[in-house]
Chains A and B, each alone.
Chain A
Amino acid sequence: MSATFLGMPPFPEAARAAVEDSQLRHNLHKATHTIRDKRGQAVGELDDWAELRSEGAAIKEHTLRHLDRYLEQVEESVQRAGGTVHWASDAAEANAIVTRLVHGTGQSDVVKVKSMATQEIELNRALEQAGITAYETDLAELIVQLGQDLPSHILVPAIHLGRARIREIFLEHMARWGVPAPQGLTDDPRALAEAARVHLRERFLNTRTAISGANFVVADSGTTVVLESEGNGRMCLTLPETLISVVGIEKIVPTFDDLEVFMQLLPRSSTGERMNPYTSMWSGVAPGDGPQEFHLVLLDNGRTDVLADTVGRQALRCIRCSACLNACPVYERTGGHAYGSVYPGPIGAILTPQLQGMSSETDRSLPYASSLCGACYEVCPVAIDIPEVLVHLREQAVEGPGRTGEKAMMAGAEAALSSPAALEAAQRAASAVRGAVPRHLPGAASAWTDTRSVPEIPEESFRRWWKKRGEER
């Protein structure tokens, strides 16, 4: 059984529960600060970081502005290299394509490399319904899958769990999925990693079909790129006979040489390392080496809607490094689950509502899950101005249905502030009743004064005082 984000409560509600969990806050504080510091060091080593960042942004922006051309080029290059390209306009289509391909191999088990795109389309659930078991192989994804939990971070999805809990999950659930956890398993991360190695080893050596996402797809060479650390990615990308990669249409870069920018930006922003332990790059099929059947599924699933918004479009530059999560004071306190979405943190707050079309209350609450401090923009390796998009989406949220009280107040304020006479009348009226205004407002307005005081109303307005002063002279 796989868990789902569907039907999660809106952000403020979920966040309230999260911040009360002191263990979670402790884990998150430690984790986000550790990665933040490592990133700072790794980035600080490169004196041309600003140039790399602007080049990365420019490459992605250019690709998005000519995406139709680059999609066609990817299709041509991948097919020339011996791969097959499929197009999926939404999650249901993508899931149907992958299910059909897996059925075609005659297999009922697949191994998976950690992939945000397949989480977004809830592929595991769809496969399960078709009688196919998908085994997650990234350590954190394995923990989340065994525990029937949800990922809470783009890079380290089990960041919300401590070692003791992970040990319990392994002892309780590993046996049901395959090789059981060893007797006397301790909560030492080494022992836990070893248990995962043993648990998955046979699976890697014997499973004939694998599913992955991709960090980049190169248009001119048809090369697919996956960055990872553990070697589970290499296992899945190399040993099976059939490989299916599900990739969002925004993952394209024009040329192989462009990778020299992103292979510097991504590892340093993501894990704070100079380079991640393993990166696999393959173009279609290499005869006699690795999978002899390769399928690339190009996924839209709302991305073209994001592309159509000239302000929101920049969210599609994202290379999923998760630096914005680690830098965000809100994420640090609430964790990833509160965002109710596969993409948490600042990037999730702008990506999820756009991908899903601001269709739910949760979507409409996400643009407010920020203090607009700008730390996310600062650390973004492709310079996505997340605060700009957040404000843009807030505008869309208030223009939608509901919020009648707020709209009425804003209309009143607009009327008063656009006429000097009306403003003066309002100020006089306020001064006249200044003693009677309570510190805490009643009714719906109490939500505002719960955390703020009603400002002191002066005896006379500045305008009146200025006018009087002129007359006295």
Chain B
Amino acid sequence: MSGSRERVLGRVRAALEDVPADEPAERVPSRTYARSHGAGPALEVLVDRLEEYRALVHRVRPEELAGQVAAVLERRGARRVVVPSGVPGAWLAETDVERVPDSRQDPRSPGELDAVDGAVTGCAVAVAETGTIVLDGSPDQGRRSVTLIPDHHLCVVRADQVVDAVPEAVRLLEPTRPLTWISGPSATSDIELDRVEGVHGPRTLEVLLVAGNG
């Protein structure tokens, strides 16, 4: 099929005869739409939206984080959790669950990930208005399968990672990284449009939102 490329491009060019040759091929975006919609204080909006998707959200102060991580995992009855290599050790300082390490250099197999009780990660950015957490595969967020196969995903979001709306988030993301946008637990509405949470992805998304006293 070596000729297909030229054939398709040739057809495209023939189809566009009406486009003036001097029309610029670079587009200057109008960007008349809003950068954000002023839905309210970002952290409150984020919590509200995540809860609407039936994610579990806890607001914690920085010094409470390790205790809260331990408490969440204990409530789940988790015995073994997968922890990407870049997750700060301090987050898990107060829990004695078994940590299963994972990194690009030392990956666990899908079968091994299927056998753990959950995953603990950070995030790249969170979007308040849409209740979205974006992971970009950095060492504290891990490979994509780490937050996909285990049934529980505990995600730590720092207040300074939260933006109001989608346009701000897109500007902060690095397209060369593998990106996963997560808005609540896995869900389907395929049967009579009844929403059911938890199909193939983690059935529980739990978020620890870390903010100072201010």
Binding site for B on A (CB under 8 A): 27, 30-31, 34-35, 45-48, 51-52, 54-55, 58-59, 62, 65-69, 71-72, 81, 86-89, 93, 96-97, 137-140, 143, 156, 158-159, 162-163, 166, 189-190, 192-193, 196-197, 200-201, 204-206, 218, 221, 223, 229-232, 234-235, 237-239, 249, 254, 256-261, 263-264, 267, 271, 273-283, 286-290, 298, 300, 304-305, 307-308, 310
**Chain B residues near A97 (CB, 8 Å)?**
1
**Chain B residues near A289 (CB, 8 Å)?**
104, 137, 143-144, 178
Point out which of B29, B49, B167, B202 has the most chain A C-beta atoms below 10 A from its C-beta. B29
Write the nearest CB–CB distance from A405 to chain B, whole angstroms: 35
Q: How far is the CA of A206 from the CA of B4 in the complex (A)?
A: 34
Q: A221-B176, A232-B199 are in contact. Are A277 and B185 (CB under 8 A)?
A: yes
Could you tell me if B107 and A288 are in contact, using CB atoms closer than 8 angstroms?
A: yes
Q: A263-B170, A290-B144 are in contact. Are A234 and B180 (CB under 8 A)?
A: yes
Chain A, Cβ-Cβ closest to B13: A68
Per a CB cutoff under 8 Å, which of A189, A229, A260 touches B194?
A189
Write the nearest CB–CB distance from B82 to chain A, whole angstroms: 14
**Chain B residues near A232 (CB, 8 Å)?**
199-200
Per a CB cutoff under 8 Å, which of A87, A258, A271 touches B189?
A271
Write the nearest CB–CB distance from B188 to chain A, whole angstroms: 5
Q: How far is the CA of A205 from the CA of B113 in the complex (A)?
A: 10
Chain A, Cβ-Cβ closest to B6: A87
Binds A, one of B67-75, B92-100, B125-133: B125-133
Per a CB cutoff under 8 Å, which of B32, B129, B178 touches A290?
B178
Could you tell me if A197 and B200 are in contact, using CB atoms closer than 8 angstroms?
A: yes
Could you tell me if A166 and B191 are in contact, using CB atoms closer than 8 angstroms?
A: yes
Q: How far is the CA of A27 from the CA of B190 in the complex (A)?
A: 12
Could you tell me if B166 and A264 are in contact, using CB atoms closer than 8 angstroms?
A: yes
Per a CB cutoff under 8 Å, which of A48, A93, A256, A260 touches B4?
A93
Write the nearest CB–CB distance from A23 to chain B, whole angstroms: 12
**Chain A residues near B23 (CB, 8 Å)?**
65-66
Could you tell me if B1 and A310 are in contact, using CB atoms closer than 8 angstroms?
A: no
Write the nearest CB–CB distance from A201 to chain B, whole angstroms: 8
Q: A234-B144, A234-B148, A260-B167 are in contact. Are A304 and B190 (CB under 8 A)?
A: no
**Chain B residues near A86 (CB, 8 Å)?**
1, 4
Per a CB cutoff under 8 Å, which of A51, A235, A259, A261 touches B200?
A235
Could you tell me if B5 and A274 are in contact, using CB atoms closer than 8 angstroms?
A: no
Binds A, one of B14-22, B58-66, B154-162: B14-22
Q: How far is the CA of A34 from the CA of B188 in the complex (A)?
A: 15
Write the nearest CB–CB distance from A107 to chain B, whole angstroms: 16
Q: A35-B193, A231-B186, A304-B8 are in contact. Are A223 and B145 (CB under 8 A)?
A: no
The proximity string for B residues 67-93 relative to A, scoring 1 for CB distances below 8 Å and 0 otherwise, is 000000000000000000000000000
Per a CB cutoff under 8 Å, which of B39, B103, B186 touches A278?
B186
Per a CB cutoff under 8 Å, which of A62, A140, A235, A260 touches B27?
A62
Chain A, Cβ-Cβ closest to B2: A87
Could you tell me if B192 and A31 are in contact, using CB atoms closer than 8 angstroms?
A: yes
Could you tell me if B201 and A278 are in contact, using CB atoms closer than 8 angstroms?
A: yes
Point out which of B27, B143, B145, B184 has the most chain A C-beta atoms below 10 A from its C-beta. B27
